[in-house]
Chain A
Amino acid sequence: MDKITFTIDGQKITADKGMTILEAALENGIYIPHLCYHPDLEPVGVCRLCMVEIEQRGLFTSCNTPAEPEIAVRTETPEIEKVRRVTAELLIVNHPFDCLICEKNTNCELQKIAHFIGIDEEHINKMRKPERILPIDTSNPFFIYDPNRCVLCGICVRTCRNTVSISTLDFMDRGYNSIVSTFGNKPILESRCVSCGECVARCPVGSLKPKETPIPSREIKTTCPYCGVGCGLILGSRGDKIVSSRGDIENPINKGQLCVKGRFGHEFINHPERLTTPLTKKDGLFVETSWDEALELIADKFSHYNGDQFVALSSAKCTNEENYIMQKFTRAVMGTNTIDHCARLCHAPSVAGLAQSFGSGAMTNSINEIQYTKSIFAIGTNTTSAHPVIAYKIKNAVKEGSKLIVANPKEIDLCEFADIFLQHRPGTDVALLMGIMKVIVDENLYDRDFINKRCENFTDFKSSLDNFTLDFVERITGVHRDKIIQAAVTYATHKPGMLFYAMGITQHTHGTDNVLATSNIALLTGNIGKPSTGVNPLRGQNNVQGACDLGALPNVYPGYQKVDVPAIKQKFEKAWNCTLSEEPGLTHTEIFDSILEGKIKVLYQMGENPVISEANASHVIKAIEQLEFFVAQDIFLTETARYADVVLPASSFAEKDGTFTNTERRVQRVRKAIEPLGESKPDWQITCEIAKRMGKEGFDFTHPVQIMDEIASLTPSYGGISYERLEYHDLQWPCPNDTHMGTPILHSESFATASGKGKFMPLTYKPSFELPDDDYPLILTTDRSLYHFHTATMTRKGGLVKLRDRELVEINPQDAEELGLTNAQLVKVISRRGVVKSQIKITDVSQKGVISMTFHFAESPTNLLTNDAIDPVAKIPETKVCAVRIEKV
């Protein structure tokens, strides 16, 4: 970075070229009063408080005047003092004086300015106008807006418009009546606000402020427990309570930004419903027991069953270390590979598909590359709801000129920013993508050079495109051919291009084919192995990447090392000092069949809730009821845990140390902020205790740091990961050794396949398993709400409920009319597998013939309806498409 020098009040200042005078001053510890400036936002120069004089040139607002070499800046002259005083006094006369009861007190920029320039009370009182008291908006569950304290700096307006691209707020009215408000002056709760709190975090005064504002007595850096973006959080605590949460500006991913869940969704941690003592079931009722008794019982029971009768369900919510311990326990102690977790229900096809085409099943590129890309293809991802902070970045890239193609059966929020929106029918992704690729090939827009050098199997693939004529694709997908052509040309001619997808691609009986279609298009356009390109599956849970990496899967040890390769088996047998099974275990979906067949008799479950999350949930319930012994380890008594024989209270992410691996393979620290609640214990400790009581060695860990060392010694891609290095470095796997700095971009030299080449995969179109017919004429697809997570065990414990408190079946106005339904009407949704009651929401977001539901609400369990037909390769159930009908209640 080029440096320049100049002077402020005679002192020599060195600054980066391009900095403003205000930035240079602040960085050098010189205070210049300012109100409308915020380091995250483009300066606008409206408050005029930051006035300085550049000698021989005159007065300038320092926040938007670049520092130039050799200028002489003065911050104090009689003229500046006069301008500044008048401006400040005008703000102060209109502002309440009750600083002591304002939560912003001592942290308020206006107060700082008042102190700095010195206020003459008498003078101010003379100027004071009759008080204008505007109503305070308390509608939002997490923050209030007090317009009486607003100084009209516009920071919130710019934050909402430029940072999160929601544009809830703007200046309304004019002159003395000017006010920051929403469209139609509605309460914030009724506006389009998504409650991210970014404006609240930046308001310089006490106008926008959180409702709960206890000042924490200590703070600790950790990682958000919700989605796979992996935002850095700073949790504040007092005593044994978490009282605050804010974004970590030093975190390379979110740089201080958060979404509503990360910023406000921490009420679950100290919630009274948390499990705090072990429970055992006696005569159908839970009774509290001691750890000793519970663990003895479990150790004794587990010892009486062999590996074939045992299954472990691990958790994508738990840390890497805990998943490692869980799979070690399953394999080394119980002698089986039957361990799986909810990744089976979300990204198994990504792991299986991308392993075939690229040799490694993870996001190929990194989140921060989004800002430099020229085109974004978002298919089957409702990013603003499920990965909000990535959505902020996508929208900002679009504002910087990137093209955005959205393909989704629903007109999701992201469409507002899209250049092209392809509203295809659910389950027709292969046809859509192959159709686009055929256009790219026919128009000669493919990357010949890249294909020749780095790929294989192109000819076979190319001939498989023949079936995907525009006629055919238009008919299958329902997307007009012009749009298909437009999308093809846009993606192929705006490079580099990043493709993002999520469960809209994976949760199908042809999920693996869908994933292969995405890898084909990346290979075809040469969009892989380079910055700002790639195939980027967005992982749902905070640590679903890590749970897969650490071998909570039935066919692989940590680091995707196959259980049926003898050399690998031997390596682990030696390390763990035991004999291991070379037979891959059963998958999530197969497990419940096996229980019903009477083969599996014991379930050890850590932090999962399959009764709500699994397709065709009644099948799961039937299976669970048939178990001989069921241990559930969780932070709450979930719908599934209620069926358990023993329930073990686990500690939440705030009460333990560990690591999570985010969607872009970045390993990040989780740090203990408070002591475990009640008698709860971290999951790793509980599993180790059971193993030790069963007389097994290799579980004598006293801290997760030791577990990570063992992981690093056995997992090549985590070889260079240690807690010590994570203090100083951002590491993304593969990170094979202590000197390796991690791998932000995969496949840049060669692919991880056997031949080192990217493999094109010929594809055919396969319809979804269950299509609409006369009895079940509608397609049900599943979706997520921004305000809840998964089965909502954590998010239905506080203010988030106020933002969304029930299931709403989204239905197109035409369908609603044909069925004679009105908005908010209660209906029955019926599939071949079950019936669920819910209210409806009539909206254009849904296309005709397609309704959608979330699965956050246990009282309207959507997964009673969904289909458990599975993808033959990845074994994922088809939760995105099933046939239903709607009846009035």
Chain B
Amino acid sequence: MEERLKKIFSSYTGKQHELIPILQHTQNEYGYLPENIMLDIAGFIRVPESRVYSVATFYGQFRFTPKGKKHVMVCRGTACHVRGAPRILEETEKLIGIKEGETSPDLEYSLETVACIGACGLAPNMMVNDVTHGRLTNKKIHAIFVRKEKGESDEK
């Protein structure tokens, strides 16, 4: 077992009700919940691994893939949805080659959808790391990601 994980476990007693705090602690440490770590957690508190996964997937706060260097969040709030968020998502998926919820193997991109980022006036929106891009069109998305492919920053 990894040292990092051992350290996390050392502040708990291995009781079943500690599951959620342990998951949170783990996510803080690792940035997400790796599968092998969830298996160790299941062993530590002696609950089936399927239960650990069930609890973890129930809460929106947990993620199961590491974030990529560019973490892309496509908004699917009502306003964005009405103004074509599904198409935006599809186009983004095509461009960066991963599906919603996935991380590219080279850890360059990760992609997820979020409920509402509070910029409905600019819908449809997406965020790449901390930067919001509004009034998206296919062209704009291409611009965002093509630039990135050339290794330039898309954060300005």
Contacts and interface: CB of A to CB of B under 8 A. Distances in A.
12 contacts: A167-B48, A167-B49, A167-B50, A170-B48, A170-B50, A170-B51, A170-B53, A170-B54, A171-B54, A183-B35, A183-B38, A184-B38
Contacts of A172: 53-54, 57
Contacts of A167: 48-51
A184 B35 contact: yes
B-side interface mostly: helix
B51 to A, nearest CB: 6
Nearest to A191: B50
Closest 7 CB pairs of A and B: A167-B48, A170-B54, A170-B50, A183-B49, A172-B57, A183-B53, A183-B50
B53 A192 contact: no
Given A161-B48, A170-B51, 6 more contacts: A167-B50, A167-B51, A171-B54, A173-B57, A183-B49, A183-B50
Nearest to A157: B50
B12 to A, nearest CB: 20
Nearest to A161: B48
Interface in B18-60: 35, 38-39, 48-54, 57-58
A840 to B, nearest CB: 21
Contacts of B35: 183-184
A184 B58 contact: no
Contact of B58 (A168, A174, A191, A192): A174
Interface string A172-212: 11100000001110000001100000000000000000000
A869 to B, nearest CB: 39
B54 to A, nearest CB: 4
A821 to B, nearest CB: 21
Contacts of B52: 183
Interface string A576-607: 00000000000000000000000000000000
Nearest to B56: A172
A178 to B, nearest CB: 9
Contacts of A192: 49
Interface of B: 35, 38-39, 48-54, 57-58, 64
A701 B141 CA distance: 86
Assign chain A's interface to a size class. 10 to 19
Nearest to B43: A416
Please classify the interface of chain A as helix (H, G, I), strand (E, B), loop, or mixed, using the class held by over half of its residues.
loop
B57 A174 contact: yes
Nearest to A168: B50
A173 B101 CA distance: 13
B143 to A, nearest CB: 31
Nearest to A175: B58
Contacts of A161: 48
A263 B31 CA distance: 44
A192 B49 CA distance: 9
Q: Interface centre among A172, A183, A184, by most B CB within 10 Å?
A: A183
Contacts of B58: 171, 173-174
A171 B58 CA distance: 9
Contacts of B51: 167, 170
A421 B35 CA distance: 26
Nearest to B39: A183
B30 to A, nearest CB: 16
A169 interface: yes
A184 B48 contact: no
Nearest to A192: B49
A183 B39 CA distance: 9
A689 to B, nearest CB: 55
A306 to B, nearest CB: 63
A167 B50 CA distance: 7
Contacts of A184: 35, 38, 53, 64
A191 B48 CA distance: 12
Interface string A151-170: 00000000001000001111
A509 to B, nearest CB: 37
Nearest to A186: B35
Contacts of A173: 57-58
A170 B52 CA distance: 9
A161 B54 CA distance: 13
Nearest to A416: B46
A168 B49 CA distance: 8
Contacts of A182: 50
Contacts of B53: 170, 172, 183-184
B128 to A, nearest CB: 25
B23 to A, nearest CB: 14
Contacts of B54: 170-172
B55 to A, nearest CB: 9
A168 B58 CA distance: 17
A183 B42 CA distance: 11
A489 to B, nearest CB: 22
Contacts of B49: 167, 183, 192
Among B35, B49, B52, the one with the most A-chain Cβ atoms within 10 Å of its Cβ is B49
Interface string A111-149: 000000000000000000000000000000000000000
Contacts of A170: 48, 50-51, 53-54
